[in-house]
Amino acid sequence: EQIMEGKKGEKSRELGAYDVVQRRKIDAEITRRTVDFIEKQAKADKQFFAYVALTQPHLPTEPNPEFKGKTGNGDWADMLAEMDAHVGDILDSIDKAGVKDNTIVVFTSDNGPEYIRPWDGWAGPWRGQYFTALEGGIRVPFMIRWPNKIPAKRVSNEILHGVDMFATLATFGGAKVPTDRPFDSHDQSDFILGKSEKSAREGFPIWCADRLQAVKWRNWKLHFYRQDNMFDPPVKNPVPTIFNLYTDPREEKPTVDTWVVGPVLKIVGEYQESLKQSPLIPMGTPDPYKPGASL
């Protein structure tokens, strides 16, 4: 693969091969460019949006040579130290640019760890991994900073989905969400700002590849399929299994709380009803895709 650089209105160009040497250095380069961008925009008194997709901790978790051996606990720990340093550099650049109080910072991930040695991560007390519907595959850190707006040091176990950032950040930025298309995002601004102790959503359907594999509702999870790791094919359960994530965070002991099926099927029903108005876009559909166009 090639490392690409592109600017709006221009043709992207290749910078060189994305080999193992560059793999170790790529996050440092992403961070350097991010810091430069923030400094340039702030100096020009321009608003900015920076989406910083650090490659770590995706495999192979090869630390930058400057961090190799830094912790004494192997490549994985060295990589975490490196990632923390990069995030710190970005936060420092915001502070030094004098825009800290007017800049929203979100730190999160899109999935749990991969279990491919020697680069396998850890999902804490939860079971499962990337490409599964288990908590270890879908539960990720989420932190947000907006000084004097978002209460500091507030911790919550309420459900907030990654797609909720669309409507939430639109509200924070004074923008209006579109009304000519469906989207799954919930506005979580009141919850994040501390105006409400409750999230704007109680649950969500969980898709793995092309199947509805489970549904999460409050502190319960209902699995239609069993899949313990990313390498085993999913097997449909004869009867859906239900887990109470408070008493069984590893999803190992099915409960008999069959009353949970009611609210779960409500989520499924609402989702299936939405598909009548807006069918799923098949995997592999050419881009750009226009709703309503024949495929």
Give the pLDDT of residue 71.
97
> Please, where are the H alpha helices in 44-179?
74-96, 135-138, 164-172
Q: Which sequence spans correspond to the domains of the chain? A: 1-6+13-103
Cα Rg, the chain, nearest whole Å: 21
Q: Say what the pTM is.
A: 0.89
Q: How far apart are CA 36 and CA 117, in angstroms?
A: 35
- Give 77's pLDDT tier (boundaries 50, 70, 90): very high
**Which tops the pLDDT comparison, 270 or 209?**
270
pLDDT digits (tens, 9 = 90+) for 113-171: 988 888 888 888 999 988 899 999 999 999 999 999 999 999 999 999 999 999 999 99
Residue 202 has pLDDT above 70, yes or no: yes
Give kind and range of the element (H or E) at residue 264: helix 261-277
Q: What is the residue-averaged pLDDT of the chain?
A: 93
Question: How crowded is residue 229: how many other Cβ atoms within 10 Å of its Cβ?
Answer: 15
pLDDT for position 22:
96
Residue type, 254: P
Given this model, what pLDDT does residue 294 score? 55
For residue 57, cis peptide bond before it (omega within 30 degrees of 0): yes
Angstrom CA distances, 198 to 119, 205, 218, 291, stand at 37, 19, 11, 34
CA-closest candidate to residue 124, choices 245, 217, 209: 245
pLDDT band at 292 (very low <50, low <70, confident <90, very high): low
